[in-house]
């Protein structure tokens, strides 16, 4: 019988209607009482660690969660974390970097409808999370809509649908069918060193989505604000305009001032390739780091984590040339 720790952080799954709308209110023991079918299959302990809408979960909370997971993981076969869906992909990505060489399941899940309401998806998602632990799916994952997704490949793509998350440019790690859970072992054969916590983060990271006509002076403002890292969502396979409003000199200035810039595509699927077009090659020439096929959530959190490990832009680039948790195809 697997020993599992359930950590609750709030979110829709634990929400009740208040005077100002839905807000987290349900505790972990109440959640477990609604899942009596788990008794006899798992030895479950639980702990309420936060009570927040996920819009209020920020880097400090990622560090707090990572600390608790690191402390408690040796005592359990796996840990399940309930979390609001809106920023779950950011939390999962951040934990993927902070919990280095993770060799046990750490599964995030939540719901589109509170667990006490009719038609809730909460129970099914929790059952999928427990199935992932029982199957030994290693690393940080998200369990949702009968799917198990690598935590740093997940993106929330729907606001209301039960299939809220998709795995971007990577296959699912597992799926639940009528005959049980199907685990795709070829995604779990990563070689790992000794597990360790590396929780240091730098929050001085800015995300900019380019639009046609972006004013180059925005980058002067970011320099004045002392940002250490910038993520740029560029066009298509990877490009930015340099006619009339030339962004390239400003980006080069940022790089020369020691600011790490990572660029990715605004397109959700497939990789960016800045070597294909002139508009992309100019980005590479001024020192921008290519984001390849990483999700925006994975890039933002990886840049925060990289800048927490080092102040050397060359080392930041080396970190982005390393695959830590299946977040990038090299």
Predicted confidence band of residue 308 (pLDDT cuts 50, 70, 90): very high
Distance of alpha carbon 269 from alpha carbon 329, whole angstroms: 13
Per-residue model confidence (pLDDT) at position 151: 97
Q: Around Cβ 218, how many Cβ atoms within 10 Å?
A: 13
Distance of alpha carbon 121 from alpha carbon 142, whole angstroms: 14
What are the tens digits of pLDDT across the range 198-248? 999 999 999 999 999 999 999 999 999 999 999 999 998 888 888 899 999
Mean pLDDT of 261-271: 94
Please identify which of the residues 12, 91, 109, 295 carries the catalytic annotation: 12
86 is in an annotated binding site: yes
Catalytic annotation on 12? yes
- On average, the pLDDT of the chain sits at 94
Predicted confidence band of residue 189 (pLDDT cuts 50, 70, 90): low
> Which domains does the chain show, CATH number per domain?
2-197 (3.40.50.1170), 205-320 (3.40.50.40)
Catalytic annotation on 70? no
Per-residue model confidence (pLDDT) at position 191: 59
Per-residue model confidence (pLDDT) at position 238: 80
54 is in an annotated binding site: yes
Residue 185 pLDDT > 70: no
φ, ψ for residue 148, nearest 5 deg: -115, 120
Nearest alpha-carbon partner for 152 in 320, 307, 54, 297: 297
């Amino acid at each position: 019988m697997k020993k599992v720790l359930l950590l609750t952080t709030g979110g829709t799954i634990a929400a009740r209607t208040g005077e100002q709308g839905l807000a987290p209110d349900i505790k972990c023991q109440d959640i477990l009482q609604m899942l009596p079918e788990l008794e006899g299959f798992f030895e479950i302990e639980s702990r309420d660690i936060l009570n927040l809408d996920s819009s209020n979960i920020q880097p400090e909370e990622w560090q707090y969660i990572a600390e608790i997971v690191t402390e408690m993981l040796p005592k359990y076969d796996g840990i399940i974390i309930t979390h609001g869906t809106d920023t779950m992909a950011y939390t999962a990505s951040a934990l993927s970097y902070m919990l280095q060489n993770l060799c046990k399941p750490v599964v995030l899940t939540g719901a589109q409808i509170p667990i006490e309401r009719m038609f809730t998806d909460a129970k099914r998602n929790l059952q999928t999370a427990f199935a992932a632990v029982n199957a030994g799916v290693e690393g940080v994952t998200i369990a949702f809509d009968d799917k198990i997704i690598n935590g740093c490949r997940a993106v929330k793509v729907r606001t209301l649908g039960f299939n809220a998350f998709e795995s971007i440019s990577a296959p699912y790690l597992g799926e639940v069918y009528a005959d049980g859970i199907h685990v795709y072992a070829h995604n779990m054969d990563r070689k790992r060193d000794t597990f360790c916590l590396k929780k240091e983060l730098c929050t001085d990271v800015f995300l900019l989505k380019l639009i046609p006509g972006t004013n180059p002076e925005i980058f002067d403002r970011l320099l004045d604000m002392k940002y250490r890292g910038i993520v740029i969502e560029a066009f298509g396979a990877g490009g930015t305009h340099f006619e009339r409003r030339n962004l390239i000199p400003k980006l080069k200035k940022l790089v020369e001032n020691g600011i790490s810039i990572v660029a990715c595509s605004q397109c959700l699927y497939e990789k960016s390739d800045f070597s294909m077009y002139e508009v992309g090659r100019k980005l590479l020439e001024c020192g921008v780091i290519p984001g390849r096929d990483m999700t925006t959530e994975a890039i933002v959190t990886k840049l925060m984590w990289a800048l927490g490990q080092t102040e050397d832009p060359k080392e930041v680039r080396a970190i982005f040339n390393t695959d830590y948790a299946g977040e990038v195809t090299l």
